[in-house]
Chains A and B, each alone.
Chain A
Amino acid sequence: MASLKDLRNRIASVKATQKITKAMQMVAAAKLRRAQEAAEAARPYSERMGAVLANITQAIGGGGDAPALMTGTGRDDVHLLIVCTAERGLCGGFNSQIARLARDHIRRLLADGKQVKIICVGKKGYDILRRDYASMILERVDLREVKTLGFVNADAIARKVIHLFNEGGFDICTLFYSQFKSVISQIPTAQQIIPAAAAGSTAPEATSGGNAVYEYEPEPGEILSDLIPRNIAVQIFRALLENAAGEMGAKMSAMDNATRNAGDMINKLSITYNRQRQAQITKELIEIISGAEAL
């Protein structure tokens, strides 16, 4: 049985921990709000980008002049996975969920005899995937120094990916991130970005009658080749923003749990402490009384 002093120390340390988790929860809540605002502010751009892209692909009508980034290389031998996770832990199963999804995907691809390459965005995913697939990891993008996610961060990643694609480094690129559904639920998602899974490109040519509506300056093909890389950057940006919001949501609920857990623990320890103290007092009283009676 632990002594009274031990119990007292224990209670003090749990209390300190509770304070920390509480503070972390509040910080996460504040950051979550900011991340959510950022994600919402980015939505109009990606929505309009999608609309314009659909429009223009329809104009081209899946013709031969669509850039390779959109149609793909026609093979699916080499897969590039971009795994976006958080830079920090202490956010429940957030990172491991994304990593698990990616790992399952990798296993499936390897079983099919495909070649896999990985780009890790965020430290945690790198730490998890490094254990099994260190040889496949091409690069690790560190965003820890980044205070507020900007489009430039996403653009830098997109540029690397496109550069790699142009060199023939891979055939299919899939983005792994966590979709922000709500504070308590984040859904790990895999999204194929190269070749762009746009339904418009496979639409029948029957719609080409609508071509006359738009005037393009410069040529549609040229606009498209400018647009597609940008669209990839936008999708990565969106994934990063959703991830940031999801991480904060997960962290908030994880820290909430931890705070509550610490509260329970303090209650239990306090009861044990009080009982033991009472027992000691009773014992001392018995000793005094029986001593007095013996006289």
Chain B
Amino acid sequence: MAEAFKFELVSPEKLLVSEQVESVVIPGAEGEMTVMAQHAPVMTTIKPGVVTIKTAGGKEERFVVFGGFADILPSGCTLLAESATHVNDIDRADLARRIQEAKEDAADAKDDESRSKAEQFLSQLTTLEGALLPA
């Protein structure tokens, strides 16, 4: 069995998870990554996606996060999410609203840079929606 490490998932409203885990899959801005114990120190921003936690007890839990960043140290991992929800509690209407807002942002964008940023965010959101809600 793999070594366990401390993982914390924090949103501005509260501390969602704080426990010993075996591995965590983080939707990093530059690609998904799996964090295990003794990981080299990395700091990364995250994109909207699903965080999969495998606890020391062997249980698997999934959370949906909308942006944020992760602070990874050999001794533990802290994920600061802008907003995080357990997959079971995800509100479809909320997700749809976010997508709608992202669409508006993309349409309102004044220059190319902000438009491409908004469109990127939008595509991340739609991918997430596709992954969560099989049509």
Spell out A's residues near B (CB within 8 Å). 38, 41-42, 44-46, 48-49, 51-52, 55-56, 150-151, 154-155, 213-218, 220, 222-223, 226-227, 230, 233-234, 237
Q: Which residue of chain B has its CB nearest to the CB of A212?
A: B41
Q: Known contacts A48-B80, A151-B83, A217-B29; decide if A41 and B43 are in contact (CB<8 Å).
A: no
Tell me, yes or no, whether B89 is within 8 Å of chain A by CB. no
Whether B30 lies near A151 (C-beta < 8 A) is no
Interface residue from A42, A56, A218, A226 paired with B12 (Cβ < 8 Å) = A42
Task: Tell me which residues across on chain B come within 8 A of A215, comparing CB atoms.
Answer: 40-43
Task: Tell me which residues across on chain A come within 8 A of B42, comparing CB atoms.
Answer: 214-217
Tell me, yes or no, whether B10 is within 8 Å of chain A by CB. yes
Whether A217 lies near B13 (C-beta < 8 A) is no
Whether A223 lies near B13 (C-beta < 8 A) is no
Whether A45 lies near B80 (C-beta < 8 A) is yes
Bin the interface of chain B by size: 20 to 34
Q: Given known contacts A150-B13, A151-B12, what 11 new A-B pairs fall within 8 Å (CB)?
A: A44-B14, A45-B15, A48-B80, A51-B71, A213-B41, A214-B42, A217-B45, A218-B29, A223-B44, A223-B45, A237-B12
Bound state CA distance, A146 and B30, in angstroms? 36
Bound state CA distance, A42 and B25, in angstroms? 24
Residue-wise, chain B 80-114 has the 8 Å CB interface mask toward A (1 for contact) of: 10110000000000000000000000000000000
Bound state CA distance, A45 and B10, in angstroms? 6
Task: Tell me which residues across on chain B come within 8 A of A227, comparing CB atoms.
Answer: 69
User: Which B3-33 residues sit within 8 Å CB-CB of chain A?
Assistant: 8, 10-15, 28-30
Tell me, yes or no, whether B52 is within 8 Å of chain A by CB. no
Residue-wise, chain B 37-80 has the 8 Å CB interface mask toward A (1 for contact) of: 00011111100000000000000000000001101000000101
Whether A234 lies near B12 (C-beta < 8 A) is yes
Whether B30 lies near A45 (C-beta < 8 A) is no
Q: Which residue of chain A has its CB nearest to the CB of B42?
A: A215
Task: Tell me which residues across on chain B come within 8 A of A217, comparing CB atoms.
Answer: 28-30, 42-45
Task: Tell me which residues across on chain B come within 8 A of A213, comparing CB atoms.
Answer: 41
Task: Tell me which residues across on chain A come within 8 A of B41, comparing CB atoms.
Answer: 213-215
Interface residue from B45, B68, B83 paired with A218 (Cβ < 8 Å) = B45
* CB of A152 to closest CB in B, whole Å: 8
Whether A223 lies near B43 (C-beta < 8 A) is yes
Q: Which residue of chain B has its CB nearest to the CB of A52?
A: B71
Q: Which residue of chain A has its CB nearest to the CB of B14?
A: A41
* CB of B28 to closest CB in A, whole Å: 6
Q: Which residue of chain A has its CB nearest to the CB of B39?
A: A215
Whether B78 lies near A48 (C-beta < 8 A) is yes
* CB of A247 to closest CB in B, whole Å: 19
Interface centre among B12, B14, B28, B78 (most CB of A within 10 A): B12
Whether A226 lies near B69 (C-beta < 8 A) is yes
* CB of B109 to closest CB in A, whole Å: 13
Bound state CA distance, A234 and B68, in angstroms? 12
* CB of B34 to closest CB in A, whole Å: 14
Whether B13 lies near A38 (C-beta < 8 A) is yes
Bound state CA distance, A220 and B43, in angstroms? 9
Among all A-B residue pairs, the 4 with the closest Cβ atoms: A41-B14, A151-B12, A217-B44, A215-B42
Q: Which residue of chain A has its CB nearest to the CB of B11?
A: A45
Interface residue from B13, B29, B40, B69 paired with A52 (Cβ < 8 Å) = B69
Whether B43 lies near A216 (C-beta < 8 A) is yes
* CB of A225 to closest CB in B, whole Å: 10
Task: Tell me which residues across on chain A come within 8 A of B83, comparing CB atoms.
Answer: 151
* CB of B38 to closest CB in A, whole Å: 14
Task: Tell me which residues across on chain A come within 8 A of B10, comparing CB atoms.
Answer: 44-45, 48
Interface residue from B8, B69, B82 paired with A223 (Cβ < 8 Å) = B69
Bound state CA distance, A66 and B30, in angstroms? 21
Whether A52 lies near B12 (C-beta < 8 A) is no
Bound state CA distance, A223 and B68, in angstroms? 10
